[in-house]
A and B are shown apart, each in its own frame.
Chain A
Amino acid sequence: MRSVLDAKVTKALATRRGPDFVVDVDLTFDIGMTMIIGRSGAGKSTLLACIAGVTNPDLGLVKIGDRTLTCTQSGIALPMHRRRVGFLFQDLALFPHLSVRENVAYGIHGDTATRKERTERVMDSFGISNLWNRRPHEISGGEQQRVALARTLITEPTALLLDEPMSSLDPDTKSAIIDDLRLWNSERRLPVVYVTHDDSEVLAMGIRTVTMSQGRVVNDAPSTNARAHSSHNVSQVSALVVSFDPVTMVAQCRLMNSDIVIAAHRPGSTPGDIVTVALNPEVSSYDRRISHSS
């Protein structure tokens, strides 16, 4: 049985000018995907680093089910390699000196036959079997993404952290990979924390979305009814930003040649900006997100 991830983290970060920047978050990540959005410097990556054990919080408790990973009060700080938390970086961090097969098999142990069989199975499920002996620099960005995901998931982590892993991919590749990830997670049922600042990903996923600003959670929106739908049919339309709330970082965007206004998380928006909004046509109701302008 899989367990939820609890992260109660306080971490002060020194800044060059002015007072320390404090990340102070108390979140529970259920099984399934949770998006964390917020502008650069909101504290998203620091939160992931505290969960993965890359850094230790000044104060806090991180646990997955009954298993405590960090507890500052009792001095527990499991090292990264004992946490069983998968971490996917923005630049993927594929090992350049190893082939695709060796990258995927990196985290598994056991006899050669078992490792080979498991690696083949996972590579098959992510559609990368044809890349077996290629090096990371010889494959496309989407393929690298799949290799990194396969490498992380083959170790059967108890939670998965994704730090803007698809920021450089085109929408189609991104959608296909998100579907792969969903399919995988429908069987494994892990808490997955997905950090992004890309609105199209947020809308396509249609899941619980946490907005962070200046180290704190400023909005925690529950999942929408878009969750059950495929993300393949996401379409993108241009829109005009008519207003922006700097606290929640929600912009009201009016679709071009239409009177439909969509509320979208767009950090740094300014009224008058022309932006791209992603829509999932399969979702019949955007009742929480769409209103008609007056």
Chain B
Amino acid sequence: MKRYPSPTMVTFGLLGAAMLTVLVAPVVTLAFYLDAESLSSLLHADPRTVNAIQVTVVSSGASVAIMTVLGVPLGYVLARSAFPGRGLVICLIALPMVLPGLAGGILLLLTFGRLSVIGRIAERLGVSLSDNFLGIVLAQVFVASPLVIISSMVAFGSVDERLEIAAATLGDSAWRVFWRVSLPIARPAVMAGIVLAWVRALGEFGATMIVSYNPQTLPVHLWVRFQADGLSGAIPLAFVLLVLALGAAVAWILLSRPLPTNRHGLQSARKP
């Protein structure tokens, strides 16, 4: 017998379609404005654009590595320990996500800029934390790492603790339990956080522009070209960013497939 959708589903479907239109329309519109010839010449002939792509890819890659190495363990600690002020720590971690990028950049400049205490110490050691590649990485880590930390915290928090206890009673130290049980089970959600953080780092504009205007990343270069040449100069660069983001979105979907769960939603998957 043919089943017709309920009025609730029809209403929700229409609302969802309106939402999808807002999300998809700009992407489709960009395709209409894209001139293949100008895109090709831009990528082949403009060294500033090629350099911006290189800076963006390398800096976001470095940021992702740093965020993963430092952020995933922090997420695990927050998921597995209770201490006074834990809620406050989580609020502070989430702050850069909700802070406007430009404001974040100003905070970073005050803390790590040439005139700051940390900045001066770093200068004395021969390292500059602003107006260079390091500054870009710093800005990207600042704005994007909350995505890694919070997704890791949620991912590890949803790993049934009894699995870790079972592994420990089978002879594994806490270190081995993390690598053999906790991380493999939490992997889809942790990977999702890492990919989202990479996308965020890739498109980072506000904080990067304040902390390190040069060398230019793709978003900063896009802004510069828009200022100089208007839409015609900016469209090919927007397309490049869109392609990178699309790749990340596909990676996010592929890497974040969940493990099978049982009827209780626990990963231990016991059948009734």
Contact = CB atoms under 8 A, between A and B. Distances in A.
Interface stretch (B44-52, B69-77, B258-266): B258-266
Contact of B169 (A85, A95, A109, A139): A85
B167 A106 contact: yes
Interface in A70-97: 79-81, 83-87, 89, 91-97
Contacts of A144: 270-271
B272 A141 contact: yes
Interface of A is mostly: loop
B272 A91 contact: no
A168 interface: yes
Interface of B is mostly: loop
B270 A92 contact: yes
B154 interface: no
Contacts of B3: none
Interface residues of A, number: 34
B184 interface: yes
Contacts of A229: none
Best-buried of B166, B185, B261, B262 by chain A (most CB within 10 Å)? B166
Interface string B119-141: 00000000000000000000000
B260 A96 contact: yes
Best-buried of A95, A137, A139 by chain B (most CB within 10 Å)? A95
Interface string B246-272: 000000000000011110101111111
Interface string A204-238: 00000000000000000000000000000000000
A131 to B, nearest CB: 13
A168 B169 contact: no
A87 B271 contact: no
B170 A137 contact: no
A168 B272 contact: yes
A8 interface: no
Contacts of B163: 93, 95
A141 B166 CA distance: 18
Contacts of B168: 53, 79-81
A293 B154 CA distance: 59
A91 B162 contact: yes
Interface residues of B, number: 29
Contacts of A136: 268-270
Nearest to A87: B169
A158 to B, nearest CB: 12
B181 A95 contact: yes
Nearest to B259: A96
Interface in B86-108: none
B39 to A, nearest CB: 43
Nearest to A144: B270
A135 interface: yes
A86 B181 contact: no
Nearest to B162: A93
Contacts of A53: 168
B85 interface: no
Sorted nearest first, the 3 A-B pairs with minimum C-beta distance are A107-B170, A137-B269, A80-B168
5 contacts: A52-B165, A81-B172, A87-B169, A97-B184, A152-B169
Interface of A: 52-54, 79-81, 83-87, 89, 91-97, 106-107, 109, 135-137, 139-141, 144, 151-152, 155, 157, 168
Given A91-B266, A95-B166, 19 more contacts: A79-B174, A84-B171, A89-B162, A89-B166, A91-B160, A91-B264, A92-B270, A93-B165, A95-B167, A95-B268, A106-B167, A106-B170, A135-B260, A135-B269, A136-B270, A137-B260, A139-B271, A141-B270, A152-B169
Interface of B: 160, 162-163, 165-174, 180-181, 184-185, 259-262, 264, 266-272
